[in-house]
Amino acid sequence: MKSDRSGPLSKFRAFRLGMDVPPWGFAYTLINVPIPFRRLLLDVEQATRKLWFRCKRLNRKIGRALGVTRPSVRLPQELVHQIVGYISDDRPTLFACTHLSRTWCIAARIHLHRDFTVLDSEGFKAADDLQSMGMIDLVRKIAVSRQIHQADFLLPETMIRLHTFTNLQELDIRYLNVGQPLQWLREHCDILKSTVRTLTLRYPRGSIKQLLSFISLFTSLENLAVDSIDRDFTTEDCTPVLETSPPLTGRLTLTGIFDQDFMAGLVSSQKGIKFRTVDLQFCGEAQVIVDGCAGTMERFIFQPSDFRGRSNSMYFTAVPADVC
């Protein structure tokens, strides 16, 4: 046992013999000890070991008598999940939990690998590591943040890596040129299309038809957020007609959308829109959206387009859903 080797006697030996104690055993130390003293040292070692274990037992008895519980109490897995749920955003603590025990490790890594951020085309390589460790299913949200200067990023060849994420529920993409991956997604990415529940498109580029076709590809889509469309008028005609229609029953967040064609197109999708929460931030005329969700809308959040808010207009409050 390791504790025996690095126990009190090891220190004693090191002190007496004036040498470093090798961690792999006592016998090696005896090589440098004259033969008459070896027996004596072995006796001392044995006596000290007995004393060491006796102290440990006594310590445990005292602990029990005083009602001090051992630190590694085995909790039911459900309780551990619940406890870890409270620190789901605290990554250092989650990381520490993975070292605690197998039960805590299982609970912590669900949150630790929940989000996956890709900043460039090399970013998908980390997905291979997750896949080799069998943890690819833990990833539920991917944020793909292309830098503007990376022209060839987010091409179908790069985006095919999204296919490896089999349990992806949230997809957040910046600066997506929608026309490029549209055909590829339509043909190859069935898993992705069926699992994604929340889609966020920030500054997407493409025609309105392409955007609406892209959104409609995700057959289980419930929540949709679109931020500032960069409309491309040149590719307006060559886009195929919508084939499917997602349920769109959760939350719609439109930020900086002034395009009436996009709003009208969204409302006139096959099944219509049934959002329960409509959040309009700095948008243009949006009566068509309000009318489209009139039957289902339970919560309405509105910031006008000339929102003056604060002197620093980069932020606004995000009020918890159940706050008022």
Give contact residues for other proteins (rule: CB under 8 A): 202, 227, 255, 283-287, 290-291, 293-311, 314-319, 323-324
Q: What residues have CB less than 8 Å from 88, skipping those under 6 apart?
A: 94, 111, 114
CB of 89 to other proteins, least distance (A): 13
Report the residue number, 49 or 274, with the smaller CB distance to other proteins. 274
CB of 93 to other proteins, least distance (A): 21
CB of 123 to other proteins, least distance (A): 19
Q: Which residues of 111-125 are buried (b: 16+ CB within 10 A; e: fewer)?
A: bbbbebebeebebbe
Handedness of CA 227, 228, 230, 233 (dihedral sign): positive
CB of 171 to other proteins, least distance (A): 15
Report the residue number, 10 or 198, with the smaller CB distance to other proteins. 198
Report the residue number, 12 or 258, with the smaller CB distance to other proteins. 258
Report the residue number, 15 or 307, with the smaller CB distance to other proteins. 307
CB of 315 to other proteins, least distance (A): 4
Q: Which two tokens stand for residue 119?
A: 């900043």
Cα–Cα distance list, 226 to 173, 208, 266, 316, 320 (Å)? 10, 12, 11, 17, 20
- What span, in angstroms and rounded, lies between the C-alpha atoms of 133 and 110? 13
Report the residue number, 128 or 285, with the smaller CB distance to other proteins. 285
CB of 310 to other proteins, least distance (A): 5
- The count of other CB atoms within 10 Å of the CB of residue 181 is 23
Nearest to residue 226, comparing CAs of 265, 180, 271? Answer: 265
Report the residue number, 65 or 324, with the smaller CB distance to other proteins. 324
**Angle 261-258-239 from CA coordinates, rounded to 5°:** 35
CB of 24 to other proteins, least distance (A): 53
Alpha helices in the chain (DSSP H): 2-5, 8-17, 27-30, 35-66, 77-85, 91-98, 102-112, 125-132, 156-159, 179-188, 190-195, 208-217, 260-267, 287-292
Report the residue number, 192 or 286, with the smaller CB distance to other proteins. 286
Q: How far apart are the first and last CA of the chain?
A: 60
Ramachandran angles phi, psi of 5, nearest 5°: -70, -35
